[in-house]
Amino acid sequence: MNKFKNLMFTCAVLLSSIITGQKSPSVKLNFNHDWKFSKINAATSSDEALSKTEFDDSKWLEVSLPHTANIEPLVVNDQWQGICWYRKEFEIASANKNKKVFIELEGAMNRAQVWINGKLAADHLGGYMPVVIDATDFVKIGQSNTIAVKLDNTDNPVSGPKPLKILDFNMYGGLYRDAWISYKDRIYISNPMLANKKAGGGVFVTFPKVATDESEVAIKTDIVNETSTSQDIECVQTIYLKGKKVAENKTISNGLAATKSVELNALIRINNAKLWSPTDPNLYQLETKVVVDGKLKDLEMTTFGIRSLQFKDNQLYVNGEKMFLRGVNRHQEYPFIGYALSDNAQYRDAKKIKEAGFNCIRLSHYPQSPAFLAACDELGIFVVDAILGWQYYADTDAFRNFCYNAATDLIRRDRNHPSVVSWEVSLNETKMPIFFMEELNKRVHEEYPGSQAFSSGWMPEVYDIYFQSRQHRIIHGNENHADKPYFVSEYGDWEYYSSNGGLNQDKMPKGLRLEKSSRHLRAEGEKALVQQAYNLQESHNDNLATGVMGDGYWVMYDYNRGYHDEIESSGIMDIFRLPKFGYDFYASQKSPKEVVVLKIASYWNADSNLDVKVFSNCDQVELFLNGKSVASQKPDVDKNTTKISHAPFTFKIPSFQAGELKAVGYIDGKEVKKVSVKTPEAPHKLKIWFDESGKKPQSNVNDVIFVYIAAVDKNGTVVPAFDKKIDFSIKGDAEVMNVGPITAEAGIATALVRIGTKRGKITFQAASSTLKGSSCLKPAK
């Protein structure tokens, strides 16, 4: 066992016992490092040979997880599909003799077959839910072991959705999330996936009573006895808030028979409870200890948030207070590496969404990373948690059962996340039979009994919440949602692109460009991006006029599409997470008590609009041109400002004059913020910075970060016209993941960089003709 593995072992033990000071016999270790990888020609390979312990994988690529099966170009219109294999040798220390051994692969696309020491241990279909294996009977204690994973990401009629060539997003491949190996005593808390119990298995936390003076926390714990004798079990559960103990409970089960399990129920009251909501996301930690004869047998930590959801007049109330869900959709991909984001990158994505002013994310159209949901718990963002589905229904029992089981597993995986506001157990934009929807809806309420689970779907029947996109409301009207809560699942894009395209996007003209489209790359310039922002304002205002409980703009980040040879560009940030003016519109909808927003939507060059938009949540803005006041005015008043929280300010400037536009924002007559933009001059140097978004770049975790290289003039203003190739190099333990040249778009080029295992300084250098720039960082441990 190398030094890294020893360190991980030590850290895991410390984490499991950091609150109690007791050493738990249960250990959960990161299993991401020291894998071998190869793409395989299925016609000339043998599963039997590749899965054997003695197979020679010395020429395979050494990789760490998360890992994508194929590094793709920036525009992905011919994504790799096929067979790939991962292999890993690992030792299990003799100290783990008689322990239970579990292995979990959080994301394995799409069919995963797993061999341990040459024996088939799992055959799992579905690339978004974890593969959880009881490996106890497959591993050898005190010896070397081999795990071999065969992945097949080709189109599958059982899991769906549409074949990639006509699919409107990409599913990529590989072991693209974290992997874990756990050791447990023979008396242990079960895994909810393996326990396979309705509303059971593992630790399940609910809240019969939610109030600030006193809340009730109901805890169901499934404990397994795999010893050869009956056991008397103590389950001690302690609740902490920011490391301070607030409540404790002990439950006893006498005479738990050998090879049997028991579900223990506890009810703990918390006085002066700190509730969870998007505006105040308080999180508690539940420590569950299993004790037998005074000895600690298992210890598990569960993070939860106390909150209640209720609908009155089809409006959402969170902890008794009415709340509108200002939402956005998200695909989980990065350029080049597809789905293989680090946990830190998942957090950074969530942080940007929160900072953009959203309090809800629709996880379209599949289950996303546990790390992303944990970030939403921490930051205070509701999520609509979805099963995989998009324009595909197979009239077979195999397909239907796959969907039913996917819904069940989704809830078992994510039920303790306070961020989950609804379970979208629906096949997006797919005609589904009533009996199919009824079974999916039934699964939600079986797996999460009580009043705090809400199903949602894109058809008006059956589900608790009706999801409808704005373009369908425009075509069909809103008569279908009068009897239930109504959420606009998508808006701001398709209705400005081709609202009569129906469900056949792949048949649309690929070069379609409409004047009013919301699909604009940053390279298309200021006027196009202002048009996009206007569309968002118009459509969001329209949604608010219909009595909806919330809406979800399509989409947060630009993304690739399986069938198309262009990036889908309706994102308010591009695929490199650089903002467009639409981002500023949404940010301006936040309360100024949270943050004052003031943004001039102009590059202020000779091609700029003379009607200058300023996005702000101030109540008055004064605009200056070269030191002279253009006007001081209140927010716009027109048909598209009637419902939004903060209308933009439009200033009419008679003619273009090079120089500086400065905006000064006022609230209650007091100056609170000022910003300016200057006419770009000739490029002077290259400026380099990198994206942190709440998480510093980190070594030894396969972290990936965006490094931005901007051409700036002598005033530090980005030069949007600069579109040259950048020569980019790195000194230190990191690598560039880009495919092809790194070229500036609207003045900024982006390199996707993977941080290595060492913690030393990393230096970035960039050059383009006579322009140069450099920067450095030191990754966190």
Cα distance between residue 454 and residue 102, in whole Å:
32
Percent of the chain topping pLDDT 90: 91
Residue 766 within a domain: yes
Could you write out the DSSP letters of every residue in 548-593?
Answer: -SEEEES-SB-B--TT-SS-B---SB-TTS-B-HHHHHHHTTS-TT
Q: Are residues 266 and 160 in the same domain?
A: no
| pLDDT band of 17, cuts 50, 70, 90 | very low
Residue 713: inside a domain = yes
Please calculate the CA angle 116-122-126 and round it to the nearest 5 degrees. 135
Here the CATH number for the domain that contains residue 111 is 2.60.120.260
Q: Is the pLDDT of residue 507 over 90?
A: no
CA–CA separation, 185 and 204 (whole Å): 21
pLDDT of residue 514: 65
Is the same domain home to 443 and 297? no
**DSSP 8-state secondary structure symbol assigned to residue 514:** -
CA angle 207, 128, 444 (to 5 degrees): 35
Residue 602 maps to which CATH number? 2.60.40.10
Q: Is residue 245 located within the same domain as residue 128? A: no
Does residue 459 share a domain with residue 352?
Answer: yes
pLDDT of residue 510 exceeding 70, the answer is no
pLDDT of residue 563: 82
Residue 396 pLDDT > 50, yes or no? yes
* pLDDT band with cut points at 50, 70 and 90 for residue 702: very high
Q: Are residues 401 and 471 in the same domain?
A: yes
Mean pLDDT of 112-124: 99
CA angle 610, 655, 642 (to 5 degrees): 30
Stretch 50-67: mean pLDDT: 98
**Does residue 113 sit in the same domain as residue 211?**
no
Strands 203-209, 214-225: pairing is antiparallel
How many domains are there within the chain?
5
Q: Tell which of 678, 697, 718 closes a domain.
A: 678
What's 456's domain CATH number?
Answer: 3.20.20.80
Quick check: 157 pLDDT over 80? yes
Confidence at residue 23, expressed as pLDDT on a 0 to 100 scale:
77
Q: Is residue 310, in this structure, part of any structural domain at all?
A: no
In a domain, residue 315? The reply is no
Using pLDDT thresholds of 50, 70 and 90, give the confidence band for residue 477. confident
User: Does residue 522 sit within a domain?
Assistant: yes
Task: With respect to residue 95, please indicate whether it lies within any of the assigned structural domains.
Answer: yes
* Structure confidence at residue 21 (pLDDT): 58
pTM, entire model: 0.96
Q: Answer for the pair 303, 399: CB distance below 8 angstroms, yes or no.
A: no
Q: 235 Cβ partners below 8 Å, 6+ apart?
A: 221, 223, 250, 251, 252, 253, 264, 266, 288, 289, 290, 291
Lowest-confidence pick of 226-230, 292-296, 340-344, 511-515: 511-515
Residue 438: pLDDT over 50: yes
Per-residue pLDDT reduced to its tens digit, 29-41: 999 999 999 999 8
User: Do 227 and 159 belong together in one domain?
Assistant: no
Is position 67 within any domain? yes
pLDDT(497) > 90: no
> Are 408 and 524 in a shared domain?
yes
The per-residue pLDDT for 16 is 44
- The CA-CA-CA angle for residues 738, 742, 744, to 5°, reads 135
Question: In terms of domains, do 753 and 672 share one?
Answer: no
Supply the mean pLDDT for the chain.
95
pLDDT band for 716, please (50, 70, 90 cuts): very high
**Distance in angstroms (rounded) separating the CA atoms of residues 425 and 441:** 7
* pLDDT for 142: 96
Asked if residue 238 and residue 154 are part of one domain, the reply reads no
Mean pLDDT of 569-588: 99
- What is the residue range of 768's domain? 685-777
pLDDT at residue 564 tops 90: no
In the chain, what's the furthest Cα-to-Cα distance? 89
Residues 479 and 366 in one domain: yes
In a domain? residue 473: yes
Least confident of 167-176, 513-522, 664-673: 513-522
611 and 553 inside one domain: no
Amino acid 9: pLDDT: 36
For residue 15, name the pLDDT band (cuts at 50, 70, 90): very low
Q: What local confidence, expressed as pLDDT, does residue 627 receive?
A: 98
Residue 739: what residue type? V
User: Which of the four pLDDT bands, split at 50, 70 and 90, describes residue 482?
Assistant: low
Cα distance between residue 712 and residue 706, in whole Å = 18
Cis check: omega of the bond before 365, within 30 degrees of 0: yes
Token pair of 152 as six digits: 């097949």
pLDDT at 503 over 50: no
User: What pLDDT is attached to residue 6?
Assistant: 37
How do residues 625-639 score in pLDDT, each as one tens digit? 999 999 999 999 999
pLDDT of residue 720: 98
Boundary of a domain, candidates 648, 678, 708: 678
**pLDDT at res. 762:** 98
Domain end (from 273, 304, 335) = 304
